[in-house]
Structure 1
Amino acid sequence: MARSDGSSYFRRSGLFWMVVVTLSLSFLTWTVFWPQDVPYSSLGPLGALAKHLVDYHYPVLYYGWFLTWVIHLFEALFVLKVCSDKGIDSTSTRLLWFAQTFLFGFASLGLLVKYKPDGRPKRQ
């Protein structure tokens, strides 16, 4: 639990978002690096879409995969600035925010952005 001064405030992302992001990025990784192993016919409309993208738009998938991780990295770096702005000084807490945001993106960043430390005016 966070100390009352807010210097070690951390909240875990919701389980729903953790599962959705993990499955989505895992499927994207699978289709980019091992497209021959994906059972497209067993995945219904998602499989048909993935097969079409692999067959006709593979560079978009490939560069999109890298772009996704670059975006997650920039979000994670931005979290370090937000932690400073909100008075979260604990190194271990900042590392938790960084790692969680790198892995889950906005599902984590949104929790930190919504945080209003004590003593700061709340916007309505």
Structure 2
Amino acid sequence: MRWSHAALNCGDLDTTEKFYTTWFGARRVNEFDLGDLRIVFLRLGDAYLELFGQARPPAGETPGGDGHPVAGTVRHIAFQTDDLDGFLRRIEGQAEITLGPLDFSAHIHGWRSVWLRDPDGVIVEVSEGYRDRA
């Protein structure tokens, strides 16, 4: 068994696709037009993001910080980088940072994370230095 994908509902599929291809290096590997619904698959490494177009706007409050704390919802999705400061310089002014960057070196030396909001309000964590325990 291996991880396959996360599926995101998008208010504007093209804007969301551009966000993940520009800032995270994902690339489009498939697209389906089902008449009133368009689906795009983006690939990054061995995992995919499946983007669903023409989604309804979210009801209620948009999550902030490190994501939505309600059971049964996804808190956030996450990516890893070798250069968090470089990522932050590239994305400056292009996305809303909702939390951080925070330093977790007390737990794992060199582990830092920042959280930002994608065009549809999904919270995205970007971290540097996370390692599994030996």
TM-score normalised according to structure 1 size: 0.26
Larger helix proportion of the pair: 1
Larger Rg: 1
